[in-house]
Amino acid sequence: MRDSLDSIVEPVLDEMGRFYDWSDEEKATYRADVEAALTNNDLAELKN
């Protein structure tokens, strides 16, 4: 499941960036937010 989610993150960010006319900096910020949310959702800290 996570692999399929990872594969669509960039295309979704690309389309949202185009729709909302995001700058490269804004897109990078949103990418970091998504990556942080996914990392938190993985609960990696609890699994180790």
Please say whether the beta carbons of 9 and 34 come within 8 A: yes
23 falls within a domain: yes
Residue 35 lies in a domain: yes
Q: Which residues contact 35 (CB under 8 A, 6 or more apart)?
A: 9
45 assigned to some structural domain: no
Note the pLDDT tens digit of each residue in 1-43.
777 888 999 999 999 999 999 999 999 999 999 999 998 888 8
Residue at 18 is within a domain: yes
pLDDT the model gives residue 8: 94
Q: Which are the contacts of 10, defined by CB distance < 8 A and separation ≥ 6?
A: 31
Q: Is residue 46 part of a domain?
A: no
Residues in the chain: 48
- pTM, two decimal places: 0.79
pLDDT at site 41? 87
Domain containing residue 20: 2-40
| Count of the separate structural domains present in the chain | 1
